[in-house]
Amino acid sequence: MARWIAIWLTVLSGQVFAQTSAPANNSIQQSDLKADLYFLASDAMQGRLTNTPENRLAAEFIKSRFARMGLQAAGPNGSFYQPFNLITTTLGDDNQFVISSMEQPATERSLRLGQDYYPLTLSANGRTRGELVFAGFGIDAPSLAHDDYRTGSVEGKLVMILDHEPGERNPESPFDGVVTSEFARRLRKVVTAQARGALAVLFVADVHNHPGSTNFEAIAARTWPTASPRVPRYMLETWMEKVKIPVVQVSPAIANDLLRVDGANLNELSQSAEASGGVTLRTVTGQQLALGTAVNRHTIPDRNVVAMIKGSDPDLAHEFVIVCAHYDHNGADGVRIFNGADDDGSGTVALLEIAEAYALAAATGLRPSRSILFAAWNSEERGLLGAWAYTENPLVPLSDTVAVLNMDMIGRNEEVPVGGGGRFRGLEIQTAESNNNALNILGYTYSPDLLSEVEASNQMYGLELKMRYDNNLSNLLRRSDQWPFLQNRVPALFFHTGLHPDYHTTNDRPEKINYVKMEAIARLVHQVSWNLAQTSSRPRYIK
């Protein structure tokens, strides 16, 4: 009996702890969230597109709020900004691709730019010449015992690499199931081939996974449009600096012509790349490829907004919990304004309220044991670039980052309509009413400890937590700013009320937000961050 009483008291004490509210948690109010969002997602803010005056004004607004709260600046040199550079590209004038036969009589064939091939935007400028090697998906993943270069060398060769990854539609694939893994990223593949001594990379469609005719010329035209697009394509400068070799995309027809010289065809070799552990390299003899690429790079300055509360425990203050959201959106097209109230005005104003709760508590002498970093990322819509920039050059060592709590679209109810189109790929049809109290948690498979903390904290708020999208064709897991941290083995969660028909449209406006629900979610995230900052243990990363 005494043993059962002891167990019961332990359970009760755990429940009492879980139900203890974080200091100033009730200062997070829907009225404040609403007031901030009606400004941030107003027509005057013109959709907060990267590299626009309104985007810079949004950053200034967040910075001024952090400063007025009395938070400590977390950026370099006492700044509330963490600067980084983006790159845009334009096509140069001297792109060439010539195939020379080594058999007699020798022949030359010049490929047509935009019809047979085109440089990728990440390509370096350069000229090179050599034989071709087929290297499957071009992936080296030691943690998954997969190496497409294990059977030979590509030193001094041009390497043909397939798009995507093995087991693309297999939920049991070690490459993150059906979520597109980081190993499929072209940049990673190019850097891997470059490190193996490749002179250039030729990407081609994995035709065994994506059969049928594709309009290669249309894709080339979208990659290098004749007129400047409303929304430029950006990459991180730090990424672009890593690429030192020419990189092009070739059409499946040209790939077949190149491989046919050696009696192979693209479909057969593409299927062979699914082999467990990696493909067998195949050198194509009998021809020489001469490739020259010209891509102009243009530097664009960008910035995250960062502030902090220093922890009170001298043994734990060097460790941080990051609470974050992104403040950019998709701008305006004439009179059509993409206000981005839910995406991600909702997460941004919640971040401000959570930061203020910490500031109010600190003013009364209540600071967390660990430190808290408040981060408003920029350029999420352009490829999570602000968060990636942070992980490339973190303000706090990633090894000292205990957890990341990312809020992106926390103001609506998930609604997937019939015939919703590609934006809803992989999601079940569902009504907004069925998700009145629902909150999706993503990233839970990477840290069950972190999920347990959310579930315990949620006892006070009674939200319906749904864990359903970590292995889903929608790719939702990699579509927000927790993804770069997960790829760096930092436990991270994505708080998300789901997609809806107004997602990425001009109808994503502040009057459509469920402020009662958003208040509960912001309070939950605040509570979770406080509990993580107070406990001596750290959530484990297990993926």
Q: Is 409 left (phi over 0), alpha (psi -120 to 50) or beta?
A: left
Nearest 10 degrees: CA dihedral of 430, 432, 435, 437? 180
Integer CA distances (angstroms), 359 to 68, 102, 215, 307, 367, in order = 10, 72, 55, 11, 9
Residue pLDDT tens, the chain, 543 long: 443 434 333 333 444 344 699 999 999 999 999 999 999 999 999 999 999 999 999 999 999 999 999 999 999 999 999 999 999 999 999 999 999 988 767 789 999 999 999 999 999 999 999 999 999 999 999 999 999 999 999 999 999 999 999 999 999 999 999 999 999 999 999 999 999 999 999 999 999 999 876 799 999 999 999 999 999 999 999 999 999 999 999 999 999 999 998 888 999 999 999 999 999 999 999 999 999 999 999 999 999 999 999 999 999 999 999 999 999 999 999 999 999 999 999 999 999 999 999 999 999 999 999 999 999 999 999 999 999 999 999 999 999 999 999 999 999 999 999 999 999 999 999 999 999 999 999 999 999 999 999 999 999 999 999 999 999 999 999 999 999 999 999 999 999 999 999 999 999 999 999 999 999 999 999 999 999 999 999 999 997
> What single letter denotes the amino acid at residue 141?
A
Q: Domain ranges for the chain, please list them.
A: 28-86+300-534, 94-293
Alpha carbon distance 12, 415 (integer Å)? 38
- For helices 448-457 and 2-18, the axis angle rounded to 10 degrees is 80
Task: Report the pLDDT value the prediction gives residue 537, as an integer from 0 to 100.
Answer: 96
Please answer whether residues 411 and 513 qualify as being in contact, where contact means their C-beta atoms are separated by less than 8 angstroms.
yes
Instruction: Give me the pLDDT at residue 19, please.
Output: 62
Chain centre to alpha carbon of residue 17: 34
DSSP secondary structure letters along 315-362:
TTTTSEEEEEEE--B--EETTEE---IIIIIIHHHHHHHHHHHHHHHH
Contact 131, 283 (CB under 8 A): yes
- State the CATH class of domain 28-86+300-534: alpha beta
CA 271, CA 275: separation in Å to the nearest integer? 8
| The pairing of beta strand 96-101 with beta strand 282-293 | antiparallel
Give the SS3 label for residue 83. Answer: strand
Dihedral of CA atoms 58, 330, 524, 73 in degrees, nearest 10, equals: -30
Return left, alpha or beta for 478; rule: phi > 0 is left, psi -120 to 50 is alpha, else beta.
alpha
CATH 3.50.30.30 for domain 94-293 = yes
Residue 261 is predicted with a pLDDT of 85
Q: What is the pLDDT of residue 543?
A: 78
Question: Cα(250)–Cα(115) distance, rounded to whole angstroms?
Answer: 9
Rounded distance between C-alpha atoms, residue 409 and residue 392, angstroms: 25
Tell me whether residue 373 is exposed, middle or buried, using C-beta atoms within 10 angstroms of its C-beta: 0 to 12, 13 to 18, 19 or more.
Answer: buried
Alpha carbon distance 271, 56 (integer Å): 48
Please say whether the beta carbons of 347 and 399 come within 8 A. Answer: no
- CA–CA distance, 86 with 295 (Å, rounded to integer): 15
- Measured from the Cβ of residue 66, the count of other Cβ atoms closer than 10 Å reads 25
d(C-alpha 143, C-alpha 486), whole Å = 15
Q: How far apart are CA 403 and CA 287, in angstroms?
A: 53
Report residue 520 CA to chain centroid gap. 26
Nearest to 337 by CA among 42, 47, 41, 40: 47
Contacts of 469 by beta carbon, 8 Å cutoff, 6+ apart: 440, 442, 476, 477
CA distance to 211, 321, 355, 362, per residue, from 72 (Å): 54, 15, 11, 12
Question: How many other C-beta atoms lie within 10 A of the C-beta of residue 51?
Answer: 19
Is 515 in a helix, a strand, or coil?
A: helix
Q: What is the pLDDT of residue 11?
A: 37
Peptide bond just before 163 cis, omega within 30 deg: no
